[in-house]
């Protein structure tokens, strides 16, 4: 009897044990699995910590009261057109999704932590909703996120009304702190902009940071070009707004990842613009080091492998972007191969490049056939720290892609290292139009990147009112190469140096040379003195400004000079020669050469239409077929003056010379009217007026004023 009872009790106890073990297992599975909780916002208030009427285990329209507030295992969804407030509590969840019209308000002192425990979704997805943060938001994961699983995703929801913009906004306010840290092994990005609908054409995706807020977005370092803070995909209209700062590394502590990557992917709409706008108060910092080998900003109209979706890519910067370190480029513009889909970079703010870039600070790579555009109305500063042959501040790669560059702001190329090349633009496929200020402090403007024939040069237009300042003092610097055709209607200031700096422009022997328009201003030596060398035939129209500080000195140091060196080049004179003579009065008969044609068969033709700046009639401009000279011809020798009066006689039609030799006739403002070889008694025809006539009699220079 006892044995039977024992056996029966044992069997019951065993069954109970099995049931307990099974229950424990089921409880364990329940605890460790993710569940969805939905915010309805029907409670007594809109505080996250208010359970009744707010939190449901089922989505709209059915409400099923949840038994508890969200925990670390819950995927939280804020339903359409509802608002939830987080005030002082600290809440930890698995993920957060905001639907159309929903709002999460995190007050100062409030905190929410998202800690993703699986690789099956984003940490936070905003699909037409808004997060306003004045407290603390931390996002991380305990597993690597790969594929389509990201940190914070601003998304244009597929269920938004047709032909409307569903705003997806994250706003980090003053005092707010946002940190998104990707777990070791993650290959995706902390912030992703993604718009999938082709019927939305307005902005809608907004990431805003205020001054006084803290924003830390940290991807995992790596060598591939997708390791970036911000990733844009498909037909996206995104905005980074506010007055705050987003930093990816510093100059002292660079990081192994980039800042922004545009990459269209399958799912977008072909031809729909792919655009990011950065507001005027925003500052973005990106300083790169290994293992990352890409650019701080990649502007790509291309696509993933085997993708047939091609989208124009546009970056509009109204803020400040600081780029440096040792990446491939600061900004890389990469049109899709074989397609006409263009890339556009528009800067109305400030772009600062300060690093040892392995390709170029601003690099347009070798791809598509579209007409790409770079427009600057703000400020672009280049300060590269290496002089690699391809590490130049601007580089238009060897491709068939057309490039239009327009500057109405200020572009400055300076360097801690003497550069060989300041700008490299592709021959025949690039037009650079300057309507602002272009400062070249080091290196030359060349067109070596292209495969086009030298008979089809790149075009550099310096428009009326625009200025190009060449400030490098490197000896015999070539300022513009022979694959660049310069059309100048603005002002060119060449460097202050005793050695020649060269406008080696255009293809020699063709019409593609230096072209000076009627509003041209050429300043050899800039505001001081220097030598400007021209290697091709040119017509000097507009104004040529020349400084003369010392008539007894040397060219380049004491006075400006323009020299043509090519064997057969011709300088055709026109326009105005504007002289700034600060020299003391030199010895009588002192002559300096202002313009010279030094080629073996080169020449100078014509005269300036006007000459200004001559102090008085003692200063004379002379013309020959080889040079333009400035002569000081003042004298107080009355016997020589009297001899002049005896040598030249005049009537109403001209003058009669009583000597044999060369006679030069000048207007009273110093312009040469005539240079003529005469014999004794020869008549020189002149219209009525007053003239200075100059000649030599023996060792004496004769200069006399005659009135006809």
Q: For residue 309, give the DSSP letter.
A: -
Whole-number pLDDT of residue 268:
47
Pairing relation of β-strands 214-218 and 177-181?
A: parallel
Neighbours of 511 (CB within 10 A): 10
Q: Which residue is listed with tokens 């509009």?
A: 316
The first and second tokens of residue 661, run together, are: 């030799």
Q: For residue 24, give the DSSP letter.
A: H
Whole-number pLDDT of residue 476:
52
Out of 9-23, 227-241, 390-404, 507-521, give the one with best mean pLDDT: 227-241
Please, which residues have CB within 8 angstroms of residue 29's CB and are 6 or more apart in sequence? none
Residue of 476, 561, 554, 570 lying closest to 524 (CA atoms): 561
Which of residues 668 and 232 earns the better pLDDT score? 232
Residue of 393, 396, 407 lying closest to 371 (CA atoms): 396
Tell me the pLDDT tens digit for each residue of 248-261. 999 899 999 999 98
Burial 199-226 (b: 16+ CB within 10 A, else e): ebeeebbbbbbbeebebebbbbebeebb
Weakest mean pLDDT among 28-32, 372-376, 489-493, 609-613 = 28-32
* Average pLDDT estimate for 49-74: 94
Weakest mean pLDDT among 237-246, 368-377, 547-556 = 368-377
Distance, CA of 263 to CA of 230 (rounded, Å): 11
CA distances from 316 to 104, 278, 345, 458 (A): 29, 6, 6, 25
CA distances from 194 to 103, 115, 440 (A): 19, 22, 40
Distance, CA of 177 to CA of 515 (rounded, Å): 57
Q: What number of H helices and E strands is found in the chain?
A: 2, 65
Tell me the pLDDT tens digit for each residue of 430-467. 889 999 999 988 888 887 654 444 456 778 899 999 99
Whole-number pLDDT of residue 310:
64
Which of residues 499 and 95 earns the better pLDDT score? 95
Distance, CA of 384 to CA of 505 (rounded, Å): 25
Distance, CA of 210 to CA of 448 (rounded, Å): 44
Which of residues 494 and 702 earns the better pLDDT score? 494
Q: What percent of the chain shows pLDDT beyond 90?
A: 40
The first and second tokens of residue 388, run together, are: 């690699």
> Is 495 in a helix, a strand, or coil?
coil
Given a cut of 60, whether residue 696 has pLDDT beyond it is yes
> Is 271 in a helix, a strand, or coil?
coil
Q: What percent of the chain shows pLDDT beyond 70?
A: 77
Given a cut of 50, whether residue 8 has pLDDT beyond it is no
Q: Which domains does the chain have, with CATH numbers?
A: 491-634 (no CATH), 641-707 (2.60.40)
Distance, CA of 40 to CA of 81 (rounded, Å): 9
Q: Yes or no: say if 345 and 375 are a contact pair by the CB < 8 Å rule.
A: yes
The first and second tokens of residue 546, run together, are: 């020349």
Question: Rg of the Cα trace of the chain?
Answer: 38
Whole-number pLDDT of residue 510:
43
Tell me the pLDDT tens digit for each residue of 265-292. 544 444 466 788 999 999 999 999 989 9
Tell me the pLDDT tens digit for each residue of 133-189. 999 999 999 999 999 999 999 987 665 555 455 589 999 999 999 999 999 999 999
Q: Yes or no: say if 190 and 219 are a contact pair by the CB < 8 Å rule.
A: yes
Q: For residue 559, give the DSSP letter.
A: B
Q: Return the C-alpha torsion angle 158, 161, 162, 165, nearest 10.
A: -90
Per-residue pLDDT band for 645 (boundaries 50, 70, 90) equals low
- On average, the pLDDT of the chain sits at 81
Whole-number pLDDT of residue 336:
65
The H-or-E segment that residue 700 falls in is: strand 700-707
Q: Yes or no: say if 236 and 276 are a contact pair by the CB < 8 Å rule.
A: yes
For the chain, helix, strand, coil in percent to 5 are: 5, 45, 50
Please, which residues have CB within 8 angstroms of residue 497's CB and are 6 or more apart in sequence? 473, 474, 475, 477, 525, 530, 531, 556
DSSP string, 36-63: EEEE---SSS-BTT--TTTEESS-TT--
Q: Return the C-alpha torsion angle 672, 610, 569, 664, nearest 10.
A: 0
pTM passes above 0.95: no
Tell me the pLDDT tens digit for each residue of 89-125. 888 999 999 998 999 999 999 999 999 999 999 999 9
DSSP string, 183-209: PTT--S-SEEEEE--TT--S--EEEEE
Tell me the pLDDT tens digit for each residue of 176-211. 999 999 999 999 999 998 875 544 444 478 999 999
Residue of 23, 15, 71 lying closest to 48 (CA atoms): 71
Q: Three-state SS string across 437-450, please?
A: EEEECCCEEECCCC
Tell me the pLDDT tens digit for each residue of 592-602. 999 999 877 88
Which of residues 247 and 511 earns the better pLDDT score? 247
Integer distance in angstroms from the first to the last C-alpha of the chain? 159
Which of residues 49 and 699 earns the better pLDDT score? 49
DSSP string, 637-693: -HHHHHHHHHHEEEETTEEEE-S-EEEEEE-TTS-EEEEEEE-TT-EEE--SSEEEE
Per-residue pLDDT band for 27 (boundaries 50, 70, 90) equals very low
């Amino acid at each position: 009897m006892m044995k039977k009872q024992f056996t029966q009790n044992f069997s019951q106890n065993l069954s109970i044990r099995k049931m307990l073990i099974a229950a424990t297992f089921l409880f364990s599975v329940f605890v460790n699995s993710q569940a969805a909780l939905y915010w309805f916002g029907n409670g007594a208030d809109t505080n996250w910590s208010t359970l009744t009427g707010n939190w449901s285990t089922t989505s709209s329209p059915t409400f099923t009261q949840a038994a508890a507030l969200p925990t670390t295992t819950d995927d939280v969804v804020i339903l359409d057109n509802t608002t939830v407030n987080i005030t002082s509590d600290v809440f930890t969840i698995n993920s957060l999704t905001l639907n159309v019209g929903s709002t999460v308000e995190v007050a100062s002192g409030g905190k929410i932590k998202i800690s993703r425990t699986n690789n099956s979704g984003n940490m936070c997805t905003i699909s037409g909703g808004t997060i306003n943060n004045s407290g603390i938001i931390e996002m991380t994961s305990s597993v690597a996120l790969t594929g389509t699983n990201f940190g914070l995703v601003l998304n244009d929801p597929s269920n938004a009304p047709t032909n409307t913009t569903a705003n997806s906004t994250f706003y980090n306010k003053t005092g707010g702190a946002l940190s998104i840290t990707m777990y070791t092994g993650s290959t995706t990005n902390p912030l992703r902009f993604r718009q999938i609908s082709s019927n939305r054409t307005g902005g809608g995706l907004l990431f805003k940071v205020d001054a006084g807020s803290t924003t830390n977005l940290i991807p995992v370092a790596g060598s591939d070009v997708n390791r970036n803070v911000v990733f844009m995909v498909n037909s996206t209209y995104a905005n980074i707004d506010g007055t705050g700062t987003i930093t990816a590394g510093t100059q002292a502590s660079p990081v192994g990842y980039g800042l922004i990557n545009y990459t269209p992917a399958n799912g977008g709409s072909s031809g729909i613009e792919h655009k990011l706008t950065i507001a005027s108060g925003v500052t973005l910092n990106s300083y790169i080091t290994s293992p990352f080998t890409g650019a701080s900003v990649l502007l790509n109209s291309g696509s993933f492998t085997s993708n047939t979706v091609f989208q124009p890519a546009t970056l509009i910067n109204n803020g400040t972007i600081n780029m440096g370190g040792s990446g491939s480029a600061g900004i890389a513009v990469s049109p899709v191969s074989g397609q006409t889909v263009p890339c556009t970079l528009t800067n109305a703010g400030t772009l600062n490049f300060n690093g040892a870039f392995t390709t170029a600070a601003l690099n347009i790579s070798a791809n598509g056939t579209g007409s790409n555009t770079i427009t600057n109305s703000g400020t672009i500063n280049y300060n590269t720290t290496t002089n690699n042959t391809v590490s130049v501040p601007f580089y238009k790669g060897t491709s068939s892609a057309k490039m239009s560059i327009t500057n109405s702001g200020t572009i400055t190329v300076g360097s801690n290292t003497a550069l060989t090349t300041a700008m490299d633009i592709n021959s025949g496929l690039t037009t650079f139009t300057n309507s602002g200020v272009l400062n070249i402090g080091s290196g030359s403007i060349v067109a070596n990147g292209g495969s086009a024939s030298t008979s089809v040069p790149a075009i550099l237009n310096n428009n009326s009112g625009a200025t190009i300042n060449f400030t490098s003092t490197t000896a015999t610097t070539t300022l513009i190469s022979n694959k660049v055709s310069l059309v100048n209607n603005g002002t060119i200031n060449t460097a202050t140096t005793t050695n020649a700096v060269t406008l080696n422009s255009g293809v020699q022997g063709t019409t593609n040379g230096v072209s000076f328009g009627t509003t041209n201003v050429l300043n050899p030596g800039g505001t001081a003195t220097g030598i400007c060398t021209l290697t091709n035939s040119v017509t000097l129209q507009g104004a040529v400004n020349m400084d003369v500080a010392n008539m007894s000195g040397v060219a380049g140091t004491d006075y400006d000079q323009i020299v043509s060196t090519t064997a057969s080049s011709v300088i055709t004179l026109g326009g105005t020669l504007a002289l700034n003579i600060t020299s003391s009065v030199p010895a009588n008969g002192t002559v300096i050469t202002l313009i010279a044609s030094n080629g073996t068969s080169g020449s100078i033709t014509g005269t300036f239409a006007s000459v200004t700046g001559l102090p008085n009639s003692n200063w004379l401009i002379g013309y020959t077929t080889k040079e333009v000279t400035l002569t000081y011809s003042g004298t107080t020798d009355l016997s020589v003056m009297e001899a002049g009066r005896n040598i030249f006689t005049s009537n109403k039609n001209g003058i009669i010379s009583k000597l044999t030799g060369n006679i030069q006739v000048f207007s009273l403002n110093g312009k040469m009217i005539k240079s003529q070889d005469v014999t004794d008694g020869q008549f020189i025809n002149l219209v009525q007026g007053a003239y200075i006539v100059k000649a030599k009699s023996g060792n004496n220079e004769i200069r006399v004023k005659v009135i006809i």
